Amino acid sequence: MHILVIGDGKVGHTLVEHLAAEGYDVVIIDKSSEVLERTQNTLDVLCIRGNGANAQTLMDAGVRKADILIAATASDETNMLCCLIGKRLGAKYAIARIRDPEFNESLNMLRHELDIDMAINPERATAIEISRLLRFPFASNIDSFAKGRVEMIGFRAAEQDPVVGIPLRDLGSKQRGIPRVLYALVERGGELIMPNGDFIIQPGDRVHVAADTVTITEYFRFLGRMGMRIRDVMLLGGGRISWYLAKMLTPMGFRVSMIEINQEKAELLSESLPDVNVIQGDGTDQELLEQEGLPQMDAFVALCDRDEENLMTGLFAVRKGVNKVIVKNNRVAYADIIGSMGLDSVVSPKSITCANILRYVRARVNSEGTKLERLHRLADGRAEALEFIARNGDPYIGIPLKDLTLRGGALIAVIVRNDKVIVPFGNDHIEAGDTVIILTCETGIADLNEVIRK
């Protein structure tokens, strides 16, 4: 598959890195020779200096044979123009990053008129992720599957949790009434583990469990995690993510305060968000944070442009006893450090954007097979949860799972059949039309037949 990526910024570079690792033929276009030199020195891709909205530049990059064109420059208008020209010159599919809230309401019309197959808004997608974490404050991450019927939730195991210190196979007998969930993945000391029945959860483990929404709610109620409620939220930074997030939270009854250092921007936010307490000031000033009531807040969300400022203010909020602290961080190198500091809830617009685009790319490359419906990246990108719809005629249909061969490092996590959620065992089987959720420590899987064999 031949893929053109326009824009070698944070998202573009990360996307090219993943696409190249999965074996796609990738060409990246950017105006800056300096940023392209970095990519050329680190990745095995063709780099072209030029304007991605210029027809000749696109022709030089092989747009006529391009299966997918991805426009991820800093300009929404340029991205939309790149897609329009690229499709006219022969690209089969076009993806545009469109971030400005001004375009949000007319996005469907723009997609239709400009022949854009997929539009991705990183800031809005990140705000949706944060809003879910605020509704379930005990969780470090929440991923939804099968049109919301199945959830996979990560949490940090505590010493008092009734699941700690007991082999997983004995939980049902030793903890009467505990709801049955799948213990899908455990992160311990930098190691990624797919636990079996003999596995024992220890305090400090980050555990990922999966089940239908009712069961998983009852599970966390059994663990005593559902008593925590969030009402007062402080947002640091008045960027697009904060704007989208405030728009989502206020109708749900959250009381939102927002700190923005730029006076003109703070005034504009105050006008567009009348239900939000907008404060003009330096949010990295610890004295200001305390004056504005940080210690009394239920949640603190650090959304500054600089990751370092988010980490430092997030740590200050933890020290002040704020129950739920969420920080934005796009630097993969910081992931292990952040976890050791006690900051469990970290969101990355770059990673969320890449996961959405990768899902689309894999679905297109496998348009004739059991295509990928949904993709979530777990454990800082070291694992993936994939959703497929089983097809009639696939060789594994109707055969007990114990009689099938499963790809190494993969797990059939959940099967959804006619609205019934099944945590599968060896005697269970897959039927045509089932939603099948796979957990894997590999990347690049685009077809269910790559995971399950007769």
Q: Could you state, in chain order, the average pLDDT of each consecutive group of 10 residues for the chain (454 residues)?
A: 93 91 92 92 93 94 94 94 95 92 81 89 91 87 85 92 94 92 91 92 94 91 86 95 94 94 95 95 93 95 92 93 91 67 82 86 68 79 88 91 90 90 90 92 85 85
Q: What is the largest CA-CA distance in the chain?
A: 69
> What is the C-alpha separation between 44 and 26, in angstroms, rounded?
9
Alpha-carbon distance values, 431 to 94, 300, 392, 403 (Å)? 34, 45, 8, 15
Spatial neighbors of 341 by CB under 8 A, at least 6 apart, are 311, 315, 318
169 and 423 Cβ atoms separated by less than 8 Å: no
The residue count for the chain: 454
From 64, 81, 80, select the one nearest 27 (Cα to Cα): 64
Strands 410-417 and 191-193: unpaired
* Cβ-based burial of 383 (10 A; exposed 0-12, middle 13-18, buried ≥19): buried
Q: What is the pLDDT of residue 373?
A: 81
Backbone angles phi, psi at 60, to 5 degrees: -65, -30
Q: What is the pLDDT of residue 219?
A: 94
* Cβ-based burial of 196 (10 A; exposed 0-12, middle 13-18, buried ≥19): exposed
Terminal alpha carbon distance of the chain: 28
What's the angle, vertex CA 427, arms to CA 425 and CA 429, rounded to 5?
A: 90
Q: What is the pLDDT of residue 339?
A: 64
* Cβ-based burial of 428 (10 A; exposed 0-12, middle 13-18, buried ≥19): middle
Strands 410-417 and 420-422: antiparallel
In the chain the domains, ranked by start, together with CATH numbers, are: 2-120 (3.40.50.720), 138-222 (3.30.70.1450), 232-347 (3.40.50.720), 365-453 (3.30.70.1450)
